[in-house]
Every structure is written in structure tokens, then in C-alpha cells.
Structure 1
Amino acid sequence: MKRGVRESIAVSAVLLAALFILPLLVIVPFRSELLTREPPMDETEGEPFVSGDLDSRTVLKVKNGDTVEEMDLGTYLVGVVRAEMPASFAEEALRAQAVAARTYTIYKLQTGGNHGSEADICTDSTCCQAYISEERARANWRKNANDYEKKVENAVTATDGETILYGGVPILAVFHSSSAGLTRAAGQVWLNDLPYLQAVDSPEEGDTIPNYYSRAEFTAAEFKEKMLAAFPEADFSGPVDRWLKNAVTDSAGSVETVEVGGVTVKGTQVRAALALRSACFEWEVQGEKLVFYVTGYGHGVGLSQYGANQMAADGADYKEILTHYYTGVTVEPYSFALPG
């Protein structure tokens, strides 16, 4: 009897031990792998970009903050397209942007640039073109990073070397975010007119564009301070509702000229002084405040990015987009190399 009890207890002990030991026998050989395994990486992430044959021939010195680094034209353009146009845009719009950015770069290089011997071009959008690294772009794009990076890179390689030419020469291929239904001629905004930068229809749908309509308000004191800094000869001794008057607008509603404190100035100068999103503005006086209602974003000359995206959505390819926004041009491969 006692022997049977002892045998039963022994069998139970063995079974109990097995319940604890067997899982360990399975897990322990793989323990380090289970505890240290990293999530699998997407094989496309981190693959180096390879420029096309024509773009790779031009090596630039790019000033990025306080440093200057060398990269070929294609690599630079990928960084520009990442920064200058939403990667969610249609592929044909991104290709149009890539060609415009390439043309703008070559134009700057051929006309001397802004940086002397230190650099060929920089990443400051107020001087040259905006630029963003792949790492920063991926952080912004998040779950769309791989798709967006591929779209941008394809836009550059698919248009390798293609440049916007007028009379066989690269143009000043300026671009902006969105127009008020019509782009502006260069002469309406800057000192000189250019035959390929003329006003054309632009099909962007304002209601679908973030901040297409914006509002800015200033107290009388703020407005007077900003205007006197820009136009010291202006006279603001009269009532507030007489400080700004006699606006002359173009067919798209952009202000060509306006009287500020009795001085006639360009609408673009008022835009700059008040940091408005565009020169397509109206205003009203509300008590001691001046309130501005602004349409579109940018100087309004050349390629409209949102207009390009709408044209692409309507079936236009990148060459049709470019020859629409830049008058009398051709889009062709253009071999360019820096001297030296």
C-alpha cells in the first residue's frame, strides 16, 4: 500500500517537473534570438540613390548651413524636389518640378550664382532652392516614406538631364505654390519682363488647397511701423482708412501698384513688408485695424505647383505642364558641366 503511494507520488513529481522543464528546453536555445531580434528592415530603405548619366556628370559644391558638401546634380535635385513639392502629388507634377528645379539650378550656375568660389548653390530657399535630406524627409513622411522617396527619385531619374530651353538656352525656371487662377508675368512682379514668363491660366482648385485663402490683421501702429520701414517717405498723418488706396490689379486680382501713405509702390513690395502669402490681396479697415484677405501663395510667376498637380490629374504629362506655364519653350536633354 505504502509502496503504491510512493510510486504514485514519484510519478506525479516527474510529470510536474516535465511541465516546467519542457518549455525551457524549447525556449532556451532560441532565447537570445527571441530577446534581441530587431524588427526586419525594409530592403529599399537606405539604398543609395544613383543619378542618371547626364545628371551624374555635374558635381556641385552645395552649401548647407555652415558646411559645403559635394554631390552630383541628380542627388541634389532629389533633395530639392523632396523639399519643394509635396511627394503626395501626381508623378507627372513631380517630374515637372524636377525639370524646373534642374533648369533653375543650371541657370544659376551659368549666370554666376551667389556664393563665389565657396559653393555653387545652397539649400536656403530665400537664396536658391529649398533642400531636405532623405533622413529628415522620411521622418516627415512616416508610413509613406518608402513610396514617397521612390516617387521623388523616379521623377529625377526619369527626366535625366531634361531642361527647359528658350532659344536653346536654359531659362530662369521660377515656380510658386499656387496662383489665383492666373499666373503673373515677370514684369508685373520684378523689374524686367521675360518672354517665357508670361501670364497664363492656372487650373488649381482653391477650395482643396491648404491655406489658399488666408487672413492677416495689423493694428494701425503695427501697419505704420512696417510701412515706414519699407517706405520711409510715406505720410501717415491722415485717418487710417486713407493710408492705403488706389490699388491697380491685374486680371487675376493681384495688386500691381497701390498708394501707401501717398507713395505709389508695387503690390509685391507691400506683400514683402507685411509678410503676406501673395500679392493677390484685398483689405478693409476695422476700427483701428487693417485686415488683409489673401489668395494663393507665392510670387505667382512661372510654374504653379498646385496648378501642375491639377493638370496632371486631368491627364497632362510633365512636358505639357511645363510648356503651358513657360511660354515658347522646349523641354530637351541638356548636357551641362561646371568649368574646371
Structure 2
Amino acid sequence: MHPYRKRKQTANWKKGSLMGFSLLLILILVIPTLIVAPKTLQTSEKKVSVDQPEQRAVSTPTLSEKDSAFSVEVLRTSSNQNETVPLEDYVTRVVASEMPADFELEALKAQALAARTYIVNYLAHAGEEQQVTDTVQHQVYKDEQELKQAWGNDYQWKIKKIKQAVAKTVGEIITYDGQPITPAFFSTSNGYTENAEDYWENSLPYLKSVASPWDEDSPKFLDQKTITLKEVEKALGVTISNTNATLPVTKTESNRVKTIEIGGKTFTGRDLREKLELRSTDFEVTAKNDYLIFTTKGYGHGVGMSQYGANGMAKEGKSYQEIISYYYQGTKVASIEDTTPKLVVRK
């Protein structure tokens, strides 16, 4: 045999052996991996589901008729017909009508307590012939259809949020010395709430002036209204002869107008606010030609809970109980059943 051919055959044999060994090694390493891999992947997936728990939808508390201690008869001014509504549905619709739904949940809860307390207090002292209206005479109330019309496409999320606030406070009212209070509220203060006696003349221990700095963020904090001299004279029943004269003014503790002299007559700040339809009793008057310009701070009578103040407190993390105890000094949150059992019997 030729020497060269023998060496070549030997080299081929060695090359074949090496390839066979490599193939065997690959099979030894790869096959167990293919067998184990699915289990490893499965274990890994299980681990992910443990470390990252499944996100569950938070259910919104629902209101049923049994949640209501009694029903409320509301006189609908548009139809002059009475509408009978379970208490908690009434509270839901009052909150929806009185406070913006995009306010913080804790502010909405505080408003729910104010609305519920108002109607409980009113009915506890009202005579048989006294009616609850759907206007600011009592509390603004809109039914489901009116709210749908007012909110349009936003109805679902707004009513859901308000129902949540009401459901979380079912049956709770604000009390002072064990009795439901007069839970006055308004939109926006001038930086302080008003003493009850400085607006309504009767003093209430839980309706005292407190600082409310959050209101400066309200879009209703500042306003100007220009009124002709003739309109002012007609509304007030006076004759204004000297528009350059300084108007004598006295102020309340919260820097609102207590009294003001115009055209030789003295009026309370409340008189002027109501007769001239001003936003607040915190106002300054400037004369210009045949006009009087009224610059106001705040919106509303200023007594009790400021709604924008409540929202500001809620944004800072305060609870509805803290909001209530701040604006209604010395009060407690209690249940209707414990406070006014006679109303519950009416159910």
C-alpha cells in the first residue's frame, strides 16, 4: 500500500472519530436541556404571577333602599309634584347638585355628611305641613334624568364617584352635644369663614370663623361686578348724590362688610350682597363715572364649610372626619339611629 494513502486513511479515521465524539457530546448536553426547559419556563411563569399579584378591579359600593333610614319627599318646583326618594339616594343627588364631582373623594364624603345632616335636622324640627324643595331654599336636588342631561358623557364616572362617597358614609351625620347641627356650607371663602352671628345674627358654637387658605386656588376667589348708579339706587331705594364720597364701612372678624352707608342709609353687608347679587360680603366699592364697581373675594355667605377649602384639605391628605371637625368646631360624627330614632321609625 502506498505510504501516502495509508496516512490519509488514518487521518480520515481520526477525523470521523472526532466528529462522532462531538455529536455525542452535543446530544448529551442538549437533550436534557430540551427536557428540563419547559419545566423551568413554567416555574418562571409561576414565579412572576406570585411576585406580581393579579390586578383586581375595585368594586364600587352600591346603595340599596335598605341603606336608607327613611325616605324624603321633595317638592319638584318645575312640576309642583312631590317625589319620594330613599334618604341615601336623596343625599347622592344633592351632593351631585351641590359639589363638583371632580373634587377629592374625602371632600365629597364631607359634603355627603353635610347634606344628610341638613335634611335630618330639618325633618326633625319641621312641622307636618312643611315641605322640602329642590332649590337653595333647602338643598339643590336634581333627579337622575336631570343629572344625565347636565353631565352628558361624564355621567357614569361622576355618579359612580359620588355614590362611592355616599356609600362610605351611609347613615352618618354631624352632631353637637348629641344633636344634629345646622351644617351650613358655601363655595369659596375670602381666606376665612364667617361667624354665624355676623351673617345671620344668631350665634352657633360650631359655626365660628376659621382660616381657610386653600380657597385662594378657587376660580371663584376674585370677581368684579359693574353696576350703574341708577340700578344701585333702584335696588337699594336711595339717591346717590356724591359718588366721590368715601362710603363708611365696618368689618366683621373675617374682614367682610358688616355695615356700609350708601345714599344716607346704612345697610348690612348681607343686605347689599343679596340686593345687588354680589358673590360675597367681602367687597370693595369704586366709583367710575356713572358706575359703581364692586370687587369681591369669595363666593357665598361664608358660614360653615367651604367646599373649595374642603377640597384643598383633602388634597393634603385630610380625611372627611378631619374636614368636618375643622369647619364645624366641637362637633362629632354619629349615626342617625342613635341621634334621631323617631325619623328612623318613619321608614
TM-score between both structures, scaled by the size of structure 2: 0.76
Asked if residue 91 in structure 1 is aligned to residue 114 in structure 2, the reply is no
Aligned to 1:117: 129
Aligned to 1:240: 243
Following the alignment from structure 2 to structure 1, what is the Cα–Cα distance between the partners of residues 253 and 106?
A: 28
Q: Which segment is superposed worse, 155-164 or 88-97?
A: 155-164
How far residue 305 of structure 1 moved from its aligned partner, in angstroms, is 0.2
Following the alignment from structure 2 to structure 1, what is the Cα–Cα distance between the partners of residues 130 and 177?
A: 31
Asked if residue 58 in structure 1 is aligned to residue 61 in structure 2, the reply is no
User: Does the CA-based 8 Å contact 1:203-1:311 persist in structure 2?
Assistant: no
Summarize deviations over 1:139-170 as a string: whole Å, max 9, x none.
33333322211111111111111111000000
User: Does the CA-based 8 Å contact 1:52-1:160 persist in structure 2?
Assistant: no
Summarize deviations over 1:85-118 as a string: whole Å, max 9, x none.
00000000000000011111111111216xx436
How far residue 59 of structure 1 moved from its aligned partner, in angstroms, is 1.5
Structure 2: which amino acid aligns with 1:122?
Answer: T
Identity %: 36
Aligned to 1:144: 154
User: Does the CA-based 8 Å contact 1:51-1:157 persist in structure 2?
Assistant: no
* Count of paired positions: 281
Summarize deviations over 1:268-291 as a string: whole Å, max 9, x none.
110001000111110100012111
Aligned to 1:26: none
Q: Secondary structure at the match of 2:259?
A: strand
Following the alignment from structure 1 to structure 2, what is the Cα–Cα distance between the partners of residues 118 and 214?
A: 37
Aligned to 1:301: 303
Aligned to 1:202: 212
How far residue 138 of structure 1 moved from its aligned partner, in angstroms, is 2.7
Summarize deviations over 1:240-272 as a string: whole Å, max 9, x none.
233x71111235431111112222221011000
User: Does the CA-based 8 Å contact 2:193-2:212 persist in structure 1?
Assistant: yes
Asked if residue 101 in structure 1 is aligned to residue 107 in structure 2, the reply is no
| Uncovered stretches (5+) of structure 2, i.e. residues with no partner | 1-58
Q: Which segment is superposed worse, 90-99 or 134-143?
A: 134-143
Summarize deviations over 1:52-86 as a string: whole Å, max 9, x none.
63xx1212211112110211111111110000000
Structure 2: which amino acid aligns with 1:112?
Answer: A
Summarize deviations over 1:161-215 as a string: whole Å, max 9, x none.
1111000000000100010110000001012111110001113242x42232111
Q: Which residue, out of 191, 198, 202, partners 1:192?
A: 202
Q: Which residue, out of 209, 229, 234, partners 1:225?
A: 234
Aligned to 1:280: 282
Following the alignment from structure 1 to structure 2, what is the Cα–Cα distance between the partners of residues 326 and 205?
A: 17
Q: Secondary structure at the match of 2:322?
A: helix
Within a 5 Å distance, the mapping from 1:26-37 to structure 2 comes to none
Following the alignment from structure 2 to structure 1, what is the Cα–Cα distance between the partners of residues 82 and 327?
A: 33
Structure with greater helix share of residues: 2
| Uncovered stretches (5+) of structure 1, i.e. residues with no partner | 1-43, 229-233
Q: Secondary structure at the match of 1:241?
A: coil
User: Does the CA-based 8 Å contact 2:175-2:181 persist in structure 1?
Assistant: yes
Following the alignment from structure 2 to structure 1, what is the Cα–Cα distance between the partners of residues 192 and 278?
A: 18
Moved over 4 A (4+): none
Q: Secondary structure at the match of 2:244?
A: helix
Which of the two has higher C-alpha Rg?
2
Structure 2: which amino acid aligns with 1:304?
Answer: S
How large is the RMSD of aligned CA atoms in angstroms?
2.1
Aligned to 1:37: none
Within a 5 Å distance, the mapping from 1:157-196 to structure 2 comes to 157-196=167-206
Q: Which residue, out of 214, 224, 228, partners 2:223?
A: 214
Summarize the Cα distance change of 1:52–1:96 in structure 2 as closer, same or farther, 3 Å threshold.
Answer: farther
Following the alignment from structure 1 to structure 2, what is the Cα–Cα distance between the partners of residues 221 and 57?
A: 52
Following the alignment from structure 1 to structure 2, what is the Cα–Cα distance between the partners of residues 278 and 118?
A: 30
User: Does the CA-based 8 Å contact 1:52-1:157 persist in structure 2?
Assistant: no
Q: Which segment is superposed worse, 59-68 or 141-150?
A: 141-150
Summarize the Cα distance change of 1:118–1:334 in structure 2 as closer, same or farther, 3 Å threshold.
Answer: closer
